[in-house]
Amino acid sequence: MPRTGITRDHVFAAADALAHEGAQPTVKLVRDRIGGSFSTITPHLADWKDERGGRSVASVPDMPEGVTSACRSLWASAWKAGQDAIQTERDGLSAAKREMEQEHAELAHEITDLEGKLDTALAERDALTHKLAEEEKGRREAQEAMSKFQIENARLEERVANTEKRAEELRVQVERLEGELARLAQAKEEPKPKERPAPREKQAPKEKLTPPKSS
Look at residue 43 in the predicted model and tell me its pLDDT: 94
In total, how many domains does the chain have? 1
Domain for residue 30, yes or no?
yes
Amino acid 213: pLDDT: 56
Q: Tell me what pLDDT residue 194 has.
A: 57
Provide the residue range defining the domain that includes 14: 1-53
Query: The pTM is what?
Result: 0.33
Q: How far apart are CA 64 and CA 141, in angstroms?
A: 110
Within a domain: 196: no
* Burial category of 13 from C-beta neighbours within 10 Å (exposed 0-12, middle 13-18, buried 19 and up): middle
- Is 77 part of a structural domain of the chain? no
Is residue 40 in some structural domain? yes
Q: Is residue 6 part of a domain?
A: yes
Cα–Cα distance, 41 to 31 (Å, whole number): 7
Q: Note whether residue 182 is domain-resident.
A: no
DSSP 8-state secondary structure symbol assigned to residue 5: S
C-alpha to C-alpha distance for 76 and 69, rounded to whole angstroms: 10
Residues ≥6 apart with Cβ < 8 Å to 37 = 6, 31
pLDDT tens by residue, the chain, 215 residues: 445 588 999 999 999 999 999 899 999 999 999 998 999 999 999 999 998 755 554 545 566 777 777 878 888 888 888 888 888 877 877 777 888 788 889 889 889 989 999 999 999 999 989 998 999 998 999 889 888 889 988 988 999 899 899 989 999 999 999 998 888 888 877 766 555 555 555 555 555 555 555 54
